[in-house]
Amino acid sequence: QASKPKLQTVTGFCAARAAAECSDAVIAACGFPGKSDCESTHAKWCMGATPQGTTYQPSKAPACLAVVTKAFATTEITATDLASLDPACTSEVFAGPGAARAQCMTDYDCNSAKGLHCVMSNPPSGSNMGQCFVPQIITPGGDCSGQGTVCGTGTYCDPMGITCITDNQINSACSLPDYPCAAGLQCNGAGPFATCAAGIADGSACNSSTECNSGLCDKATDQAGGTCASVITLSSLDSMCKSPP
């Protein structure tokens, strides 16, 4: 109970998040001299990463801290752990200014405190702009033409039939953003010759996490490229020691 007032400010939230990230295992693996050094580094990163133009939501902080504590409990951090941080520690904690129907490009543009998210039009308009709505999740085969409609995980809104259908599988034709590939696949090629292909396997070189089967590109500090991995084992060279996701 005593710690709750500290979460009423962004500074307090960042201090609490840094403390959650700086477990004894992380401190040792990353080579920090002590807990205060780790927490100072992580709190500074958190403050710098606070999205401009948003409003901090203290009531959402505990949920974020819970997933952070779990993710950083050991020196091994999984892709699943990192995926759990979004949106728990992103647009849920920092609500955007956009009211219902306001134009948006990301969830940070919408007021998540009112349940609003940035929903792209169906079919895609080509402008990369959406509108702030409370999402209506549509099941496979359902009509996705309505405002605020979002197809469930593993499906997308077919631009032709305007119904939710299964994401394109390996070797199927694709075109982003209209005809996406299933999770773990990439849309390779251009125009009518683009097809869904397997993502990069663990242990292979990568430049971004979207290229990897695992959804995670492990990079050393200040390096543009890295290695695809399902699990990151922290060391003093790892970028997550100083700039968590």
Q: Please, what is the angle between helix 35-49 and helix 10-21, to 10°?
A: 130
Q: What is the pLDDT of residues 82-137, one digit of tens each?
A: 888 988 999 999 999 999 999 999 999 999 999 999 999 886 776 789 999 999 99
Radius of gyration for the chain, computed over Cα atoms and rounded to the nearest angstrom:
20
Separation in Å, CA 198 to CA 58, 167, 183, 190, 230: 41, 14, 10, 16, 15
Q: What is the pLDDT of residues 45-86, one digit of tens each?
A: 999 999 999 999 999 999 999 999 999 999 999 888 888 898
- Check: CB of residue 55 under 8 Å from CB of residue 113: yes
Portion of the chain with pLDDT greater than 90, in percent: 71
Predicted confidence (pLDDT) per residue in 129-161, tens digit = 999 999 999 999 999 999 999 999 999 999 899
| pLDDT value for 196 | 95
Query: Does residue 2 register a pLDDT over 50?
Result: no
**What distance in Å separates the CA atoms of residue 120 and residue 176, rounded to the nearest whole number?**
13
Burial of 100 (0-12, 13-18, 19+ CB in 10 A): middle
Q: What is the pLDDT of residues 38-49, one digit of tens each?
A: 999 999 999 999
Measured distance between the N- and C-terminal CA atoms of the chain, rounded to whole angstroms: 28
Cα 22 to Cα 25: distance, rounded to the nearest angstrom = 8
Residue 184: what pLDDT? 84
pLDDT score at 4: 60
Q: Which two tokens stand for residue 175?
A: 């075109």
* Confidence check: pLDDT of 3 > 60: no
Give 5-37 as a DSSP string. GGGGSHHHHHHHHHHHH--HHHHHHHT-SSHHH
| For range 8-29, the mean pLDDT | 96
Indicate whether 1 pLDDT > 50.
no
Report which of residues 4 and 135 the model is more confident about. 135
pLDDT tens digits, 206-224: 998 888 888 889 888 888 8
Contact predicate 40/15, CB 8 Å: no
Question: What stretches of the chain show up as alpha helix (H) in DSSP?
Answer: 10-21, 24-30, 35-49, 61-71, 79-83, 85-88
Position 127 scores a pLDDT of 75
Residue-level pLDDT at 74:
94
Q: What is the distance, to the nearest Å, from the Cα of residue 121 to the centroid of all Cα atoms in its chain?
A: 21
Q: How confident is the model at residue 190 (pLDDT cuts 50, 70, 90)?
A: confident
Average pLDDT, stretch 178-192? 88
